[in-house]
Amino acid sequence: MSMCEEALRCPITGATDNLLQCRVVSESADADESQIACMEWVFGLPRGGLSYYLQSQENTIWFREDICRMYSRMEFLLVPTFKTFIDAMAFMQHAGVTARKNNDESPRRPLTALASNRASYRYTFIAFTEAARGLQKEFKMQSPTMEDLNNNWHPLLEKPLLEGSDTYPVLECFSHPFCISTFAEKAFWRRRKTEVTAQWHVCCDELVDQWRLERIPPPQWFIDAPKLGQDDTDLSATEASGYNPLTSEDTVAPDQGGAIGATDTPHPRMKVSSWLGKVDLTIEPIEEEAPPSPRKLRRSSRIAALSSPYASSPELCAPASPVRHAPWPSTRGRNPVRYPPAWVKRNGCFPTNRFSSNDWAYFQYGIALAARADR
């Protein structure tokens, strides 16, 4: 079954028909601009890309119709397993979003690179109502592994998990942990928790606080960057009319200050039309000599370095692109999923101009092209 077919399958029942699409996170009217910018920065999105991302597959779950309504009513929750939480927190530390210098505009690792080889994530199923508990009994769900439970050790509280933590089943879906945690964090405050389920609530809070409390602030150049979709269609009516040369004068609002007085000066549009009628369009344009280039001042390199007007401009760098003729990677290098390269544990200044297509694939999506070619 392909990944697209897997995504269009209810993660609880396995059904592929009579499904409803559930958007995990919706745009909030209460969020201020700085919080949205921080969320876009941590998520690895371009400026203004949050609204587009919320329509993507990673913010979507397909449930059977009745189960979808139960999830919307918060009768049950999906929360990242402790292992998924640890991976998400570690990913943010090495995705190029923390401790970023103001002049460092290198790409960030997108949040799609967090996924496993199957592009799915593991979540703990927590039921709050009897109907939701009935789903747990009716359908066979996976039992948590020791890896899901982080070897029975809480990653934040740094103490053993409470008894009964291993009774909560686990399921897999393609929605991203950032989105799942955002919805779960709100639901935890509306539903009664136990000491056992509070262990997952603490982790969701910690994850969401990274952008909700702006613990990872974006640099100023990202905040000031133009948003996606900022084009002529976003202009106001008065601004847009300036781009239309055929706009009628009758549509222009009258001057509220009153008439200044009659004048015989022709309208600029009439002057242009009159000039255009006198131009002979068959005459070839007169070639003019190029203006002389400014004479370069003779100064020492030391003075030139201190004097910014005469300092040499930096060389233009081509945008980052995969190396066209990179050598075939070694056995370890061709499978970065199994053997992560050293740059994964570093923060920022990646990708470099030495990245091959295999490196780019792992940087963007967490997959290995060369490893797939060997199959």
Q: Which residue has the higher pLDDT, 133 or 310?
A: 133
Flag whether 210 is in a domain. Answer: yes
Q: Which residue has the higher pLDDT, 276 or 124?
A: 124
Flag whether 236 is in a domain. Answer: no
Cα gap 19→27, rounded to integer Å? 23
The radius of gyration computed from the CA coordinates of the chain, to the nearest angstrom, equals 29
Q: How many domains does the chain have?
A: 2
Non-local CB neighbours of 65 within 8 Å, separated by 6+ positions: 18, 19, 20
Final residue belonging to a domain, choices 223, 252, 277? 223
What are the contacts of 89-94 at 24+ separation with CB within 8 A?
89/155, 89/206, 89/207, 92/42, 92/210, 92/216, 93/347, 94/344, 94/345, 94/346, 94/347
> Which range scores top for mean pLDDT: 198-207, 220-229, 257-266?
198-207
Q: Does 330 score more than 90 pLDDT?
A: no
Q: Does 210 score more than 70 pLDDT?
A: yes
What are the pLDDT digits (tens) for 11-60? 999 998 889 999 999 887 667 889 999 999 999 999 999 988 998 888 99
Q: Does 171 score more than 90 pLDDT?
A: yes
pLDDT bin (cut points 50, 70, 90) of residue 300 is: low
**Judgement on whether residues 70 and 212 belong to the same structural domain of the protein:** yes
Which pLDDT value is given to residue 3? Answer: 61
pLDDT bin (cut points 50, 70, 90) of residue 76 is: very high
Strand partners, 248: none
Flag whether 352 is in a domain. Answer: yes
Final residue belonging to a domain, choices 223, 257, 278? 223
Q: How many CA atoms lie within 13 A of 107 on its CB side?
A: 16
Flag whether 253 is in a domain. Answer: no
Flag whether 242 is in a domain. Answer: no
375: domain range?
326-375
C-beta atoms surrounding 91 within 10 Å? 19
Q: What is the 3-state secondary structure (H, E, C) of 147-187?
A: CCCCCCECCCCCCECCCCHHHCCEEEECCCHHHHHHHHHHH
**Judgement on whether residues 210 and 341 belong to the same structural domain of the protein:** no
pLDDT bin (cut points 50, 70, 90) of residue 316 is: very low
Which pLDDT value is given to residue 336? Answer: 75
pLDDT bin (cut points 50, 70, 90) of residue 182 is: very high
Final residue belonging to a domain, choices 223, 254, 269? 223
Range with the poorest average pLDDT among 16-30, 46-60, 292-306, 323-337: 292-306
Flag whether 286 is in a domain. Answer: no
**Judgement on whether residues 214 and 356 belong to the same structural domain of the protein:** no
Q: Please, what is the average pLDDT of the chain? A: 78
Flag whether 136 is in a domain. Answer: yes
**Judgement on whether residues 50 and 166 belong to the same structural domain of the protein:** yes
